[in-house]
Copies of this chain bind each other. A is one copy, B any other.
Amino acid sequence: MSRNPKPLHLNAFLMSVGHHEASWRLPESDPYAGWDVAHYRNLARIAERGKLDSLFLADSPVQQGDPGQRPTGKLEPTVLLTALAGVTEHIGLIATASTSYNEPYNLARRFASLDHVSGGRAGWNIVTTAGADAARNFGLDDVPPHHERYERAAEFVEVSRKLWDSWADDAVVADKAAGVHADPAKVRAIHHRGRYFRVDGPLNVPRSPQGYPLLVQAGSSEDGRRFAARHAEAVFTAQQTLAEAQAFYRDLKRRAAALGRDPDGIKVLPGIVPILGDTEAEARELDAELERLILPEYAKRQLAARFRLDPDTLDLDGPLPDDLPAEAEIEGAKSRYTLIVDLARREHLTVRQLIARLGGGRGHRTFTGTPVQVADAIEDWFDHGAADGFNIMPAVLPSGLTAFVDRVVPILQERGRFRTGYRGRTLREHYGLARPADQYADVTDRETA
């Protein structure tokens, strides 16, 4: 078997008691775990035992879903990851935060602080936050248009990077005798004046171990790909088939190269929902049990909302209607919408079958099988130009993460695919990415702050 010399990267996507919609109904699941730091500490330790590159928390500043039908309670990701930094030493910590409902000065400070507190392990999954319900928590009647949200996101990242670079790495001179703490020429006001933001700076946090957090992105729409190609160092993506994943991978690398970036400087990590069993039959049994626990009427309402349809127009045992809206009419999760429609049509799924597939991973690829089969599936996409690594989304937590770390990771390690120990200390080092230079490093005569 040919050996791919490039390193494989694995991220653990943590979500309450698992990515399957119905996982909380399993006998083993703690229904209060979603906002219990002890549950997440346990998950973080398991992931670090598996030498995974990073942990990741999704987020939206709104209650997602019906609290009657699923666990909606959670903790704010920068707070939770700071807590997890204290019980881990190496693993990277990637928090989602919205550019639509934050101010750059506040968010840049929090990520710089998390990077300091964790010794260089912070990552920021940059999201623009879809949905009118989130907008209505921030004084708006509806979500700003998709393109405008991405425009604001780009300026938000620009301001943040200026703030993170406002202190030179060697700004602090600490000359006690002379009474000079920092070189004032190396702590620089940024005087940003843009369309969305005016920020004077400098940040009140010195430059952090990584310079700034790893920049992650997860949008796969046209706006999302353009944004990722310019800014992202890692990309989470939902892909159902090898061919689609290869096309996405090639497209993103090509876009990055066209912008003058090293295509290897942007890591593509498709999501995979492994449903593991000692035998295929055992894995299928777990899958079937989870499917039985889905609440079909609730899931139908959720699907109808995504499609902007009256739930009554969906027949659980029939196909999707023909006259669905075009992607252009969808204001959020555009590419996910198209993926779901394509999946249902390609596999001729009934609404009930589609719900079962989505319940497992909300559009991410579900893979049910033995540890060897999951390791094979990972190698297959990795070796065929579809992935630099994977976003591991266990259907059930903690048991699914334990199974992946204890059963799949050792196979990947034996095959020489995955690290057996951490070499670096920072999140960027795990992903083989260089520490970014200070953009003001060559500017000698800037105005001092």
**Chain A residues engaging chain B, CB cutoff 8 angstroms:** 24-27, 29, 31-32, 35-37, 60-64, 66-76, 78-80, 82-83, 85-87, 101-103, 105-106, 109-110, 112-114, 116-117, 133, 136-140, 167, 171-172, 174, 176, 179-184, 187, 197-206, 293, 295, 298, 449
Contact = CB atoms under 8 A, between A and B. Distances in A.
Contacts of A295: 179
Given A139-B198, A293-B179, A204 B116 contact: no
A113 B68 CA distance: 21
A176 B103 contact: no
A58 to B, nearest CB: 12
A183 B212 CA distance: 42
A30 to B, nearest CB: 9
A167 B364 CA distance: 31
B106 A181 contact: no
A109 B137 CA distance: 12
28 contacts: A24-B181, A25-B176, A32-B174, A35-B116, A36-B116, A37-B117, A60-B204, A61-B106, A62-B204, A63-B201, A63-B449, A67-B171, A67-B449, A68-B181, A68-B183, A68-B184, A70-B181, A71-B182, A75-B113, A76-B106, A76-B205, A79-B114, A79-B117, A80-B117, A83-B85, A86-B87, A137-B199, A140-B198
Nearest to A102: B106
Contacts of A202: 63, 67
A85 B79 CA distance: 11
Contact of A86 (B64, B83, B110): B83
A136 to B, nearest CB: 4
A275 to B, nearest CB: 19
Q: Top 3 A-B pairs ranked by shortest CB distance?
A: A86-B86, A31-B174, A68-B184
B197 A139 contact: yes
Contacts of A137: 105, 199-201
Contacts of A87: 86
A273 to B, nearest CB: 21
A96 to B, nearest CB: 13
A31 B139 contact: no
A63 B116 CA distance: 17
Contacts of A197: 139
Interface of A, helix, strand, loop or mixed by DSSP: loop
Nearest to A193: B139
B64 A184 contact: no
A205 B293 contact: no
A75 B116 contact: yes
Contact of A204 (B74, B136, B187, B205): B74
Contact of A82 (B79, B136, B174, B183): B79
A73 B205 contact: yes
Contacts of A200: 133, 136-137
A407 B32 CA distance: 43
Contact of A182 (B68, B201, B298): B68
A24 B173 CA distance: 12
A167 B67 CA distance: 10
A169 B51 CA distance: 38
Nearest to A30: B174
A172 B74 CA distance: 13
Which has the most chain B C-beta neighbours within 10 Å: A71, A116, A174? Answer: A116
A268 B83 CA distance: 31
A21 to B, nearest CB: 11
Contacts of A86: 83, 86-87
A228 to B, nearest CB: 25
Nearest to A207: B73
B79 A179 contact: no
Contact of A31 (B27, B117, B176, B298): B176
B32 A172 contact: yes
A380 B80 CA distance: 43
A110 B298 CA distance: 30
Contacts of A198: 136, 139-140
